[in-house]
A and B are shown apart, each in its own frame.
Chain A
Amino acid sequence: MQPVPSSGASAATWADFICLPEGDSRELIDGALIEVDVPTELHEHIVTALAAHLYFWAKAHGAGPVLASGYRVKVSETRGVMPDLQLYRRGNTARRTPEGLVGGHPDLVVEVVSPTSRRYDRVTKLEYYTAIGVPEYWIVDPEARTLERLSLRDGAYTIVQSLAEDAVFAPAGFDGLAIPLAELWSLEVEE
Chain B
Amino acid sequence: MTSLSRGGVPQRITLEQWGALPEDEGGELVDGRLVEDEDVGILHDVVVAWLIRVLGAWAAPRGGIVGGSDTRFAVAAQRGRKPDLFVYLDPARAPAHGLVRAPPDVVVEVVSPTPRDIRRDRIEKLAEYAVFGVRCYWIVDPELRTLEIYELQPDGRYAHAAGVTSGVLARVPGCEGLTVDVDALWAEVERLAPRA
Contact = CB atoms under 8 A, between A and B. Distances in A.
Interface residues of B, number: 23
B161 to A, nearest CB: 6
A157 interface: yes
Interface in A97-124: 115, 118-119, 122-124
A30 B167 CA distance: 14
B126 interface: yes
Interface string B151-173: 00100011111011100000000
Given A144-B119, A164-B119, A153 B145 contact: no
A119 B144 contact: yes
Given A119-B146, A124-B165, A146-B123, A158 B158 contact: yes
A162 B160 CA distance: 14
Given A122-B146, A123-B164, A144-B115, 20 more contacts: A119-B141, A123-B148, A124-B165, A130-B160, A144-B119, A144-B122, A145-B119, A146-B119, A146-B123, A148-B122, A157-B159, A157-B160, A158-B153, A158-B158, A158-B159, A159-B150, A159-B160, A162-B122, A162-B126, A164-B123
B127 interface: yes
B115 A143 contact: yes
Nearest to A146: B123
Say which size band chain A's interface belongs to. Answer: 20 to 34
Contacts, number: 66
B164 to A, nearest CB: 7
Contacts of A162: 122-123, 126-127
Interface string A152-186: 01001111101110000000000000000000000
A159 B126 contact: yes
A73 to B, nearest CB: 19
B128 to A, nearest CB: 11
A118 B148 CA distance: 13
Interface of B: 113, 115, 118-119, 122-123, 126-127, 141, 144-146, 148, 150, 153, 157-161, 163-165
A123 B165 CA distance: 7
A51 interface: no
A187 B180 CA distance: 43
12 contacts: A118-B144, A122-B163, A123-B148, A124-B165, A141-B118, A144-B115, A144-B123, A148-B123, A153-B153, A156-B160, A162-B122, A164-B119
A141 B115 CA distance: 9
A157 B149 CA distance: 12
A127 interface: yes
A146 B148 CA distance: 18
Contacts of B159: 153, 156-159
Nearest to B116: A144
Contacts of A159: 126, 150, 157-160
B29 to A, nearest CB: 19
B157 to A, nearest CB: 5
